[in-house]
Amino acid sequence: MVVAVDALFEPLTFPCGATAPNRVWLAALTNGQSNDDGTLGDDELRWLTRRAEGGFGVITTCAAFVGADGKGWPGELGVDDDRGLPGLRRLASELRARDALGLVQIFHGGVRAPRAETGGQPWSASTWSEGAADFEPPRPATEEDLARVIGQFAAAARRVTDAGLAGVEIHGAHGYLPSQFLSRVFNQRDDRWGGPLAHRARLLREIVRAVRAAVPRGAVVGVRLSPEDFGYARGLDLDETVEVARWLCDDGVDFVHLSLWRVERPTVKRPDEHALSIFRAALPAAVPIVAAGAIWTPADALATLARGAAAVALGRAAIVNADWARLARQPGWEPRRPPVTEAELAAIAVSPRFVGYLRKFKNLVAD
């Protein structure tokens, strides 16, 4: 199926009634640009608003921790306390002025919330050890931990919408806390939070339900999922993730965001099928699927829509091309590819601190 480029710029209405102006999203990207206390930094505000100026219809913040014990890295945005409200209100106002729909990705690191950031031992579904020298074995979650974190997600979402942003994306992917509970490797519990899929999915479902109940009816509540094992996301089965996505639709999510890493590849479990076609066939037609995974060109984006996505989320392509969503309308336009210099990145609102993080990735920042 051939999809015309205009399809990227059609409005997208969510089940809650909110509407995004187009189908091009800025994906949530770790950038380290927030203040030490978790409040929104000026550099992060510039980074986000510059992409809104570039035509991105949905702007998603970096992962934002919902509780102090869930913080994953220095310079991470926090939505755990009302001290962040002034920055969130400023962000909401700036994005509205640029006709973009703003979402905050809400997050808890679980085992990937190190003592250096939280001051305490990480916790997760179970305890385990890994070979890395800096790995801190987590303690198993208590019932009190789980009740607290569900409440933290709900309170964070309410804080976000009180600030005037459109809603939240719950980070259920990439091996963070909800993904750790979904995992058949990391979750070795034998209580109501572990064992069969319905138990391993309980934490994410309870978070979604609590968030949905905490925010206004018209607020957007989405979830990001890793369909299969990749990187820190381990112990995930494709068919189980499809079932979890079905349940989350029943629980009231407004979109499902699939983190595919390389969007052109088929699934590992079913090499003759693509994840988008599998999930699209399984989920209600009214619930949009968003896809991320090395989408660089308008042709890549259109092919992703043709496979069943309703929108595309850009990461590295958006870092290097602040005006991607505006320029993609031009026939024959091709985006810039890395490596790019620090000066070129600075010109499009990528701060030195963000550049320092990006240097971890081979050939992204020019020497």
Question: Active-site residue numbers?
Answer: 176
Contact 289, 280 (CB under 8 A): yes
Q: Is the dihedral of CA 150, 20, 32, 324 positive or negative?
A: positive
Q: Mapping DSSP to helix (H, G, I), strand (E, B) and coil, where does residue 25 land? A: strand
> From CA 66, how far away is CA 157, in angstroms rounded?
9
The number of helix segments (H) and strand segments (E) in the chain equals: 14, 13
> From CA 233, how far away is CA 289, in angstroms rounded?
20
> From CA 357, how far away is CA 199, in angstroms rounded?
36
Contact 204, 223 (CB under 8 A): yes
Q: Who's near 276: CB < 8 A, 6+ residues apart?
A: 258, 260, 289, 291, 304, 307, 308, 309
Q: Which of 77, 92, 76 is nearest to 163 (CA)?
A: 92
Helices 298-307 and 275-282, axial angle in degrees (round to 10): 40
CA 269 → CA 33, 36, 46, 274, 286, distances in Å?
A: 38, 42, 41, 10, 27
Residue 54: HSE in the Cβ half-sphere, 13 Å Cα cutoff: 26
Q: Which of 222, 244, 246 is nearest to 233 (CA)?
A: 244
